[in-house]
Each structure stands twice: as C-alpha cells, then as structure tokens.
Amino acid sequence: MPVLRTKILLPILALIIGIGGGYLFYTYYPGFQEIAPPDPIVFPLPEDLKSYYFYKKAGEGGYYFENGNFVSVDAPQNIEQTRKQSSPDGTKKVYTKSIAPSMKVDGEVVSVDFSKWSVVVEEGGNERPLANGYAPRFLDNDHLAYFSSLGIVVYNFKNNTYQLVFRRPEGVLLGGEVQYSPDASKVLWVDAKTGQKFVGMIAPTRYENKHVFAGSEVLILTDTTVYEFAFVPEGTAFFNRGFDGSDRTRSVTFPPELGIRGAIR
C-alpha cells in the first residue's frame, strides 16, 4: 500500500513543482514578464496647439495630442502642406503641381521658382490650372490666395478676376516656408535672402503686414498668436510672441527626453 501511495503522490508532487517553477521563471525572467504600457504624457498644452504635430529629429517620429495626452507616432499624418486644400463648403479643392527642380539656387539663397509651380483647382470632378503660383489657400468659398512672382494674389471665383493684394518689395525672394493660420486670416512667409519672417493679416481684398521676425526664430502661426520654438535649460519650450512680436511669454515647456524639435499642422 505505501508503494502505491508513493506512485500516486510522486506525479502530483512533480506537477506542483513544475507549476511553481514555471511561475517563478515567468515572474523573474524578464523575457516572459508582461510590460505595462507607459503612463500617458500629460501637459497643459495651449488650446490652439492641440491640432499640431510635434516632431522630433528626422526619422524619429513625433507626437499628436489626443484625449488630453500626447500619443507617440512614427510619422505625421495628413500634414497641411502636403494635402489638397478644400474650400469651407467642400465644393472645391486646390493644390500645386511642380516640375523639378522647383527651387532657384543662387549660392546659399534658395527661393521659389514660380515658373515651375502651378496652382490647380479641382471642382465638380474636373481639374484646371489657375496660374503659376505657390502655397494656395482658400480664404472663403469664393476667394483663393496664393503667392506669385509679383506678390500675393487673390482669385475671385464669382467673377473670375485676379487681384494683387500685396506686391513683394524689389529684391525680396520668396522662400519655401509659408504658413497660414487654421482660419486663413493670417499668413507667414519668408524672405529667402535674409531669412526674415513676415507675419500679416490677409483678406479677400487686402494684406497688412504686422511684424517682421528675425530669421533665426522658429515660428508656428496659429489663429490666436505666433509661437516661437526654442531650446531652454529644462528642455524645449514654446513662447507666445503675439502677431506683432511684442510679447515673449513662455506657454509650455517639454522635458528633453521627449526630443521635441518643433510643430507643424
């Protein structure tokens, strides 16, 4: 009888030891541990920056702001500069076609070659070239702004007319960076020679320059203000500069481990 009990108990004991050993191995061997998801990255981000993509170094991805937290992504999605722009009512779209090389290079000065850029309008399933131009944007359903070799032009769809609302000063060349505010009431453009950045108010019949920023400043244009991006001892920060450049209040600071280098919409 003792031999029978032993034969029965030994497999049970082995099973218990096996289960216990497996549990210890799973618990203490890192390769088999479950890794908890990282805590969400929470910052008091200004409201007008919440729709922007915060990028890191080239190839390292960046972040979007979703449901109150920063979400890490490998690459930006649907960036404004690379997609077709729609009119507010959605009946028309506009984009630019270019022929390489699309930029003029004169020593260290790189400027837009307007002869290589074409503004194309898509409406009712049909496309038509509108003019040679760069960086188009709908101001409303009936007016489209774009940069030409002369300056800023507004096209009126109702009466098929073009109006030069701003003549670029003699000798000033347009650089590749152009930003419109989300509501299309402000625009930022760059002098390719000096690097200076011009911020102005734009409407169907006029353009009014508000301020000229230094070329060394990295700027983000929103509906409510101009933000300057800068490196600070605590990491990186966005400063509220105002449209006239008179302010420089720090709005938000990101720790260096996030690696944020700027923002784009």
Q: For the CA atoms of 246, 251, 253, 258, what is the dihedral angle to 10 degrees?
A: -100
Query: What are residue 246's phi and psi, to 5 degrees?
Result: -80, -15
Query: What pLDDT was estimated at residue 83?
Result: 72
pLDDT at residue 223 is higher than 60: yes
User: What percent of the chain clears pLDDT 70, i.e. is strictly above it?
Assistant: 82
pLDDT at residue 12 is higher than 60: no
Mean pLDDT of the chain: 85
More confident residue, 99 or 141: 141
Strand order of the β-sheet with 218-221 is: 218-221, 226-232, 235-240, 249-254
Task: Yes or no: say if 195 and 155 are a contact pair by the CB < 8 Å rule.
Answer: no
- Cα 82 to Cα 12, 96, 102, 136, 221: the distances in Å are 67, 9, 15, 12, 17
Helices (H), ranges, the chain: 2-28
Rg, the chain, Cα only:
28
pLDDT at residue 33 is higher than 50: no
d(Cα 111, Cα 93) in Å, to the nearest integer?
Answer: 26
- Cα 158 to Cα 79, 144, 165: the distances in Å are 29, 11, 17
How do the domains of the chain map onto residue ranges? 2-32
Candidates 115, 223, 229, 226; CA nearest to 174 is 115
Amino acid, single-letter form, for residue 59 = G
Task: Yes or no: say if 154 and 145 are a contact pair by the CB < 8 Å rule.
Answer: yes
Query: What pLDDT was estimated at residue 22?
Result: 46
Candidates 234, 250, 178, 241; CA nearest to 214 is 241
d(Cα 154, Cα 171) in Å, to the nearest integer?
Answer: 22
pLDDT in tens, 164-202: 999 999 999 999 999 999 999 999 999 999 999 999 999
Q: Is 7 helix (H, G, I), strand (E, B) or coil?
A: helix
Query: What pLDDT was estimated at residue 159?
Result: 97
How many helices (H) and strands (E) the chain has is answered by 1, 22
d(Cα 69, Cα 232) in Å, to the nearest integer?
Answer: 22
pLDDT at residue 39 is higher than 80: no
d(Cα 77, Cα 71) in Å, to the nearest integer?
Answer: 13
- Kindly tell me the sign of the dihedral angle through the C-alpha atoms of 247, 251, 254, 260: negative
pLDDT in tens, 64-105: 988 878 889 887 765 655 578 999 999 999 999 999 899 999
Does pTM top 0.75 for this prediction? Answer: yes
